[in-house]
Structure 1
Amino acid sequence: MLKKDLVMPKSNMIKKLREMQETNSSLLATNFYNYETLRGIMKAASQLNQPIILQLTKSSIDYMGLSVAVNLAKSSLEEYQVEGWLHLDHSVSYDLVHECLDAGFDSVMIDASEKPFEENMDITRKVVELAANYGANVEAELGYIAKLGQSKEKTGFTDPAEAKYFVEQTGINSLAVAIGSAHGFYTQEPNLDIQRLSEIRAATHIPLVLHGGSGIPGSSLKEAIKNGICKINLATEIKNIFMQTLKTSMAMNEDIDLRNVFPSAIHAVSRLVEEKLEIVKS
């Protein structure tokens, strides 16, 4: 049910993440890929009356078009009366960051983590200077967090001392840390380095971000939140449950009306996001 009579005040995302930091809480950040996945996410956030971060990558922006994707996100937040923000996930391009800020994004991530340390700092500092004109949150990444197709055997955890220097030199608002998570599916249960996370938290004093939230047990997520994680990214599980449900539904009937076929997959996304929101809010 939509709560159209409820006015949800929206705070600046920088301030919201600081609030999460002060209360040992976290926001769930969910990637969406089309109208259907977005609707599933919004129904869950509305049902539980929980704030949500909606994330777009360059691939999703290329697929939907920037203005369409932004309008979908903003109109959905308004329709469902959910406090939420739009975030650019894993941009390696300063120009794309600029485009997204002009389009109304509340937050951007510049990911130069695969570049040399000094180069990572340089481009991140430029994005921070740019984003200040928009009052937007800037997230960066330090350390090795395996992306899709990259080896999960390789390690390169975030060093607390490097993180402290990086934060001081760039002025970022939030930092994605490498503590044992990875993007995509895990071949075995991930073992998060909570001690390292605690040390990074003490050294940096800014909200920390956990990428690769898909497949991490709820108990591990809660422990990470207690030790400084203020934003948890969820992407792979959303794509997977949507497509698996859709494949099952299509295999069971020959209906060509997508309006009859998609709802089961939308509902599956909603159930997943509700489960994650319950973990985060607890």
Structure 2
Amino acid sequence: MLCRTADLIAEAHASGFGIAAFNVITLEHVQAVADAAQRTGRPAIVQISQNAVRHYGGDVMPLAAATTAAATSSGARLAMHLDHVEDVELLHRTAECGASSVMYDASRLPDEKNTAATRAAARWAHDHGLFIEAELGEIGGKGSAHLPGVRTDPKDAARFVAETGVDALAVAVGSSHAMVTRAAALDLDLISRLRDEVPVPLVLHGSSGVPHPTLRSAVEHGMTKINIGTLLNVAFTRAVRRALAEAPELVDPRRYLTPARSAMTDTIADCLTALTAPASP
């Protein structure tokens, strides 16, 4: 069933469990999230990034429609979220496409401009009944919030939330986007300090590079929403390569997309079991 992101995050935040959010690119990604959530009895968030929208010619509606259809027909609790949205036009299509939340990303801007742009985005989102996540980004010339070595200062994070009114904050604690090996180490003490200073749920981006035990520790120390994308693509691509290597004559995409979808489903189910509370009986 299609749920509201705000409800899933609020439940996870209150219970001390994480809520896993998976970035999707193809219909197979969407089906894999729905199938894994159904299999495990866990809720999940399906995320469509601005990059994924760009892949489809800039139109969010086809992938959003597929996500809505998959969620509506599933017995699992699924929410739809737009991720890393920098374009205001796409931001303003959040409700129209069926998503109940958006991550507005002005983190490339200098701090004052990021704060102003995010405040305006949060105002718009709340006027339309939407949950909004943001990212603090560059402070004092530190560069991108997810470059190695960059860390979010708890005081800066608390100030940013107070000045913008966002509902959740993505923080830099040691993970990086697009990691294909699970070797990232998180600053768990910093997560605890952020939890104590910041009055909204914390979000971990770049979680594909973090081992499950460390992700569980991150949740125990205060992280709520765990974003996972590259891990699915690694499983997908490995399965496709294996299928084509075993049968080079294959031309029917169903013959290699089926094992790719199955591999992603197993990967997602493993993440959900590790991070997310089971459904209530």
Q: Deviations over 1:35-81 (max 9, x none)?
A: 11211221111111111100111221133332111110000011222
Superposed CA deviations along residues 250-276 of structure 1, whole A, max 9, x for unmatched, are: 121112222222111111001100110
Shift of 1:154: 4.4
- Contact 1:27/1:232, CA 8 A, preserved across alignment: yes
Q: After superposing the two structures, state which structure 1 stretch, 65-74 or 15-24, moved more.
A: 15-24
Distance 2:44 2:177 in 1: 20
Q: Identify the residue that residue 184 of structure 1 maps to in structure 2.
A: 178
Structure 2 unaligned spans of 5+: 139-143
1:5 is aligned to none
Q: Residue 127 of structure 2 aligns to a residue in which SS? A: coil
Q: Give a deviation string over 1:13-33, Cα, whole Å, max 9, x none.
A: 223322211211111100111
Residue 138 (structure 1) shift: 0.4
- Note the C-alpha offset of 1:114: 2.4
The residue aligned with 2:112 is 118
- In structure 2, give the amino acid aligned to 1:230: T
Residue aligning to 1:20? 12
2:22–2:45 CA contact under 8 A, matched in 1: yes
How far the C-alpha of 1:234 sits from its partner, in A, is 0.6
- Are 2:50 and 2:86, in contact at CA under 8 Å, matched by a contact in 1? no
Q: How many residues align?
A: 269
1:36 pairs with one of 28, 35, 39:
28
Per-residue deviation at 1:139?
0.4
Match of 2:51 in 1: 59
Distance 1:15 1:42, change over 3 A: closer
SS in 1 for 2:173: coil
C-alpha change, 1:153 and 1:208, in structure 2 (3 Å) is closer
After TM superposition, give the deviation of residue 279 of structure 1 in Å: 0.7
The answer as to whether partners of 2:145 and 2:152 remain within 8 angstroms in 1 is no
**Alpha-carbon distance between aligned partners in 2 of 1:25 and 1:154, rounded to the nearest angstrom:** 26
Shift of 1:110: 1.0
SS at match of 1:102: coil
User: Cα deviation per residue 1:201-221 (whole Å; 9 max; x = unaligned)?
Assistant: 111121100001103111111
Find the residue that maps to 2:226 and give its secondary structure.
strand
- Cα displacement string for residues 89-137 of structure 1 (whole angstroms, at most 9, x for unaligned residues): 1111222111223322111011122221111110110111111122111
CA contact (8 A) 1:143 1:156 kept: no
Matches of 2:218 and 2:225, distance apart in 1? 10
Structure 2 counterpart of 1:175, from 169, 175, 195? 169
Using the TM superposition, give the Cα deviation of residue 188 of structure 1 relative to its aligned residue in structure 2, in angstroms: 7.3
* SS of residue matched to 1:100: coil
Preserved contact between residue 28 and residue 280 of structure 1 (Cα < 8 Å): yes
Per the alignment, residue 274 of structure 1 pairs with: 269
Deviates more, 1:183-192 or 1:252-261: 183-192
Q: 1:220 to 1:207 in 2, by over 3 A?
A: same
The answer on whether the counterparts of 2:181 and 2:209 sit within 8 Å (CA) in structure 1 is no
CA distance in 2, matches of 1:17, 1:152: 22
Residue 249 of structure 2 corresponds to residue 257 of structure 1: no
1:165 and 2:166 are equivalent in the alignment: no
Partners of 1:18 and 1:206 within 8 A in 2: no
CA deviations 1:118-174 (Å, max 9, x no partner) are: 111101101111111221110001246xxxxx8976422111001111111111000
Q: 1:4 matched to which residue of 2? A: none
Mapped partners of 2:99, 2:123: distance in 1:
16
Report the CA distance shift for 1:198/1:152 in structure 2 as closer, same or farther (over 3 A).
closer
Q: Are the structure 2 counterparts of residues 73 and 202 from structure 1 closer, same or farther at C-alpha, using a change threshold of 3 Å?
A: same
Is contact 1:24–1:227 with CA below 8 Å preserved after alignment? no
2:104–2:133 contact (8 Å) kept in structure 1: yes
Structure 1: tracts of 5 or more residues without a match: 1-7, 145-149
Distance in 1 of aligned mates of 2:43 and 2:22: 11
Kindly state the Cα deviation for residue 243 of structure 1 after the two structures are TM-superposed.
1.2
- 1:81 aligned residue: 75
More off after superposition, 81-90 vs 159-168: 81-90
